Chains A and B, each alone.
Chain A
Amino acid sequence: MSEAIAQMADLSRTGTAVPLDRGSSLRDENTAKLGMWIFLGSWAMLFAGLFFTYGAIREATARWPPAGLPRLPLGLPALNTLALLASSALLQLGLSRTRRGERAALAVFGAFSLGLIFLSLQLVVWTQVWKSGMTVTGGPYPSVFYGLTAFHALHVLVGLAALFVLWIGCASGRIGAARHLALSLWTLYWHFVGAVWLIIFASVYLA
């Protein structure tokens, strides 16, 4: 999306093409943000479908977790929740620092690292649960656990790749007060990923 804006040029009444700086215009930025909101709204419907399925299956089951299956660990996932929230907050800080023209590389790197920690801890949780005897094929309870967390982790992975590129951009000065559209769009995405995690944590682990 941001690439598209980079390639935009302005064909004004004279009919000549004047290349635009990326994200230099408020109008383009608002358009891109609107597009991102629409995308996130749409993608939220996908997760809504997943949670709907979870709710429907769980509602039809007498005991949850079903007999013979272990309870999910709570400590590490709680820590993970904090990591992802802190990561979101740091990225927001990075964005507002960038807007003010201050250095933001450290904040973005912090957000990236916390995201990486989240994914590593998630890996530990999966291993623990797997070793306790709950495999993917063990019925709907493990299906919900592995399915939802893995699909979410995929989104974290995409976000991490983006944060890494953004960190390099911030460090090299390519992203700054005049040009930060990509950063603000990915910040929205990262908040979305965090919000989805909150719902997963509350509904899969806690409830």
Chain B
Amino acid sequence: MDLQPIHPEPKSFLRRYVFSLDHKVIAKQFLWAGLLFLLFGGTLAMMIRWQWAYPMKPVPILGPLLLSKTGGAITPALYPAIFTMHGLIMIFFAITPILIGAFGNYTIPLMIGARDMAFPTLNMLSFWTFLVSQGLMIAAFFQKMGAAAAGWTTYPPLSDSVGTPGWGQTLAVLAIFVTGVSTIMGGINYVTTVIRFRAPGMTYMRMPLTVWGLWLTSILNILFVPVLGSGGLLLLLDRLFGTQFFIAGASAVNGGGDPLVFQHLFWIFGHPEVYILILPAWGILCDLLSFFARKPAYFYKGSVYAMVAVTLLSAVVYGHHMYVTGMSPLLGKGFMTFTVMISVPAEILFVNWLLTITKGSIRLEPPMLFALGTVFVFGLGGLTGLFLAIMSMDLYLHDTMFVVGHFHLTMASASFLASLAGIYFWYPKMFGREMNKTLGYAHFWLSTVFITLVFTGQLVAGYSGQQRRLFEPYQYQFLHHLLGVNQWTSYFAFALYFTQILFVYNFVASMFLGEKAAENPWQVGTLDWATPSPPPHHNFDVVPLVLRGPHELSDPEVIRSLGRDWIGQAEALPDERPVAEPARAAEGGRA
């Protein structure tokens, strides 16, 4: 039996709920912090949508509260700050903490049969560092010259001290650096935990695909977040100390810095980042589709290798963000080839999902519906990605709303819906209560329909030539006719926003009113469902001995001998001798 160290159960309130070392508590902290900022970032998005539907008209509700000086309307100076902060908040302070901070922390130790993360103190520090970065982000709003306004990509010269003077931009860049440090701390923990703390018998090829996705994401995080860190650091030096790394100067006299170098650093990080945000979602999808189709995941190893291939390729495609920067067409062709290549493993995953649910006994519970919704919006997003990957097409579509629609379908919609799938799925385990299913169904249908309409609306506007980030698009003659499309897109966006009231109510109220959850309400075999709901402080009384893969569903032998269609990963059949794989069993026990 593999003995694993764990910190003793804390007694005081502070150690138990605030400065907790327990991965389950830290996961909930990340979840709350992420959900709050999701609401916050969503509100900012509504302000952008308002401006595009009713340019320069006073914003209802929020306008009188926040913008009293301008009579409630958004000014041209404020507008860039709104979309910049929306992007930064959603990516770094909402999706990242929910998908990686919350699900990573909650599921990895439970799913691999560990009692906690490898470095619990580091885990706690990771959350508190993250909270500091969120604080810096909030502080950026209250600066004299306004919040960060150089776009989420923070390109110099727009982001240097001349382009966006004042502390707002500085604090936002600092916040990104600090949140990067938090992400790296988390990444070190996840990667080490998966390598060292798997229960005996939990081979890599028996790990749930959720864990695979999170693990690969963490590897990308520890490799590429520091690259963004280096860019942010040099940008801070430029802003605060007057260095000239990214400031183009009189090169004849004493050389010049180069703003383009920042774009390289940014996208060397930035392209892996989109996979950082989607790999955990893919992993969750792979598992949920199998669980709720009551079938083993189709071609499990194929999904694993496809995710590994995406992870590797994601490091060499970043140039497709920079086709129009004067990049050599030859280099561009190389990036184009890799970009098109990366869709092959993505297709393999997609086909695996479809074949997993084919002829399954599908149970359309809320988590499954959200998983299917994710497959749908990700499919749309992936297909529009092919347009942008091709250089000749990108010349036309670059910096239009088409790009915005594309990455909102993949990074935003798919991650958002997959997060919801995960929340509906693990909620009974996390909080020991069931969520209301009727509200869940309503939430699913409204959310999925509206989110699809919002971002296809953006695709249409972009394909018709509307550039992104315009304050008042209709001042251009050729965009006049797009007012209708944009207004309808905005109505759908408002509807999407207010639909989330259903979720907020369900999420909060179910903690008190929900039915007590059973140990394994979804009847699946992974280890996280082999402990009470919610799990005790040490997760498992006995570290389980894993005997099989994560998706042993509808196995005829299991049905015959146990009378049900699922079997736990660590559950032995009546006539089975519980032996882990020899290699791992020998390693068990403490040296």
Contacts and interface: CB of A to CB of B under 8 A. Distances in A.
Contact of B255 (A30, A35, A47, A57): A57
Interface stretch (B44-52, B93-101, B185-193): B185-193
Contact of A141 (B188, B196, B230, B255): B255
Interface in A2-35: 3-5, 7-13, 15, 17, 19-20, 25-28, 30-32, 34-35
B306 interface: no
Interface string A43-64: 1111111101100110011111
Given A39-B188, A42-B184, A140-B256, A57 B227 contact: no
B121 A140 contact: no
A61 B255 contact: yes
A207 interface: no
Contact of B122 (A4, A44, A137, A144): A4
A143 B241 CA distance: 9
B257 interface: yes
A47 B245 CA distance: 15
Nearest to B115: A11
Given A1-B119, A56-B264, A38 B227 contact: no
A25 B251 contact: no
A137 B120 contact: no
A67 interface: yes
Contact of B5 (A20, A38, A50, A57): A20
Given A7-B120, A13-B1, A137-B242, A67 B227 contact: no
Nearest to A2: B121
Contacts of A67: 253-254
Nearest to A68: B254
B126 to A, nearest CB: 12
Interface in A127-146: 136-144, 146
A78 interface: no
A49 B230 contact: yes
B11 interface: no
B364 interface: no
Given A31-B196, A45-B226, A13 B542 contact: yes
Interface string A99-120: 0000000000000000000000
Interface string B212-248: 0000000000111111011101100110011111000
Contact of B245 (A12, A57, A61, A62): A57
A15 B226 contact: no
A39 B184 contact: yes
A193 to B, nearest CB: 16
- Which of under 10, 10 to 19, 20 to 34, or 35 or more describes the interface residues of B? 35 or more
Interface string B506-534: 00000000000000000000000000000
A31 B118 CA distance: 7
A69 interface: yes
Contacts of B249: 139-140
Contacts of B254: 66-69, 138-141
A48 B252 CA distance: 27
B329 to A, nearest CB: 20
A64 B6 contact: no
Nearest to A34: B192
A100 to B, nearest CB: 19
Interface of B: prevailing SS: helix
A7 B222 contact: no
Contacts of A50: 230, 233-234
A25 B591 contact: yes
B195 interface: yes
Interface string A134-175: 001111111110110001000000000000000000000000
Interface in B118-177: 118-122
B255 A140 contact: yes
B121 A143 contact: no
Contacts of A57: 245, 255-258, 261
A8 B7 contact: yes
A41 interface: yes
B227 A7 contact: no
B217 to A, nearest CB: 14
Interface in B1-57: 1, 3, 5-9, 21
Given A27-B590, A68-B253, A42 B223 contact: yes
Nearest to A55: B261
Interface string A187-200: 00000000000000
Contacts of A34: 192, 195-196
A55 to B, nearest CB: 9
B525 to A, nearest CB: 23
B188 A60 contact: no
Nearest to A3: B121
A142 B243 CA distance: 8
B539 to A, nearest CB: 10
Contact of B243 (A46, A61, A137): A137
A61 B261 contact: no
Most buried by A among B195, B243, B251: B243
B469 interface: no
Contacts of A49: 226-227, 229-231, 265, 268
B576 interface: no
B222 to A, nearest CB: 4
B333 interface: no
Given A4-B120, A11-B6, A147 B245 contact: yes
A140 B227 contact: no
A43 B590 contact: no
B264 A52 contact: yes
Given A13-B1, A34-B192, A151-B233, A64 B541 contact: no
B468 interface: no
B538 interface: yes
A5 B268 CA distance: 35
> Interface centre among A30, A61, A137, by most B CB within 10 Å?
A61
A143 to B, nearest CB: 4
A45 B223 contact: yes
A16 B268 CA distance: 48
A172 to B, nearest CB: 23
Contacts of A9: 5-8
Nearest to A139: B254
Pairs A-B, 4 closest by C-beta atoms:
A49-B230, A8-B5, A143-B243, A4-B121
21 contacts: A4-B120, A9-B5, A27-B590, A38-B191, A39-B188, A43-B226, A45-B226, A46-B227, A46-B230, A47-B230, A56-B258, A56-B261, A57-B245, A57-B255, A57-B256, A57-B258, A62-B255, A139-B256, A140-B249, A143-B238, A143-B257
Given A12-B3, A45-B227, A52-B230, 15 more contacts: A4-B122, A19-B8, A25-B590, A31-B192, A39-B188, A41-B223, A42-B188, A42-B222, A42-B225, A46-B230, A52-B265, A60-B258, A66-B254, A140-B254, A142-B243
Interface of A: 1, 3-5, 7-13, 15, 17, 19-20, 25-28, 30-32, 34-35, 38-39, 41-50, 52-53, 56-57, 60-64, 66-69, 136-144, 146-147, 151
